[in-house]
Amino acid sequence: MMQMSADVVQNQILWCKQRYDMDLQNPRTIHFVDLETTHLDPVHGEIIDICILTSKDWGKTLDNIYCTKIKPVHIETADPASLNVNGYNESDWADAPVWADVVAEVSQILSDGIVCAHNVLFEMKWLTHHCYRITHRHMCTQTLAYTFLPLRSPSLSAIRDYYKWSHDDAHTAYADAYDCYLFFVTCITDPLPDVGVL
């Protein structure tokens, strides 16, 4: 697998910082996305929680929040380990829509712009499998954390510890998408940390 050098990632962040500071007439749309699923494999699992935070001005403001639980229809194929992580239970999902009810809206929201997620390849794998046509453009905040923060692990949990952010509601789509958004904005507004990994 090809890995980006620290210089390449730093140039990407500097590019974003320049645009954040500019008054663009047509700034890029970024969707900060998190999914919770019943399995690690999209062929066997289902999306059961999704949050999409959309910004049209490089994160200065959030223009749209789409967030919903999704009732699984084939819970028998679920991996118990995945359900343990996201806290699925029938009662909390009792009134949730099924995927067929939301796929058109999700696909429309993500039809253009940039998908930004923590370990974005996971989100893209699931979204391209379960959605209609969506944007192919994406950015990964896990890569930013790996490159710029002195952490043994670039996990969202480690980032929360590093910045002393709350762990409340971790592994819910809204909390994880919001902290992904918050970390991205931190990267392009704060001075860049020294590159290095312990």
Longest CA span, the chain:
51
> What confidence tens digit (pLDDT) does each residue in 87-110 have?
999 999 999 999 999 999 999 999
| pLDDT for the residue 130 | 97
pLDDT at residue 198 greater than cutoff 50 = no
Considering Cα of 112, then 117, then 119, then 125, what sign does the dihedral take? negative
pLDDT tens-digit series, residues 130-172? 999 999 999 999 988 988 888 989 999 999 999 999 999 999 9
Q: Is 27 helix (H, G, I), strand (E, B) or coil?
A: coil
For 11-61, how does the pLDDT look when each residue is reduced to its tens digit (9 = 90+)? 656 656 555 555 445 578 999 999 999 999 999 999 999 999 999 988 888
Sign of CA dihedral 112, 118, 124, 127: negative
CB 101 within 8 A of CB 77: no
Q: What is the pLDDT of residue 197?
A: 35
User: What domains can you pick out in the chain, each with its CATH number?
Assistant: 27-189 (3.30.420.10)
Among 8-12, 17-21, 67-71, 76-80, name the one with the lowest average pLDDT.
Answer: 17-21
Element spanning 186, H or E: helix 173-189
Question: For residues 59 and 29, is the Cβ–Cβ distance under 8 A?
Answer: no
Amino acid 18: pLDDT: 59
Question: What's the pTM value of the predicted model, to 2 decimals?
Answer: 0.85
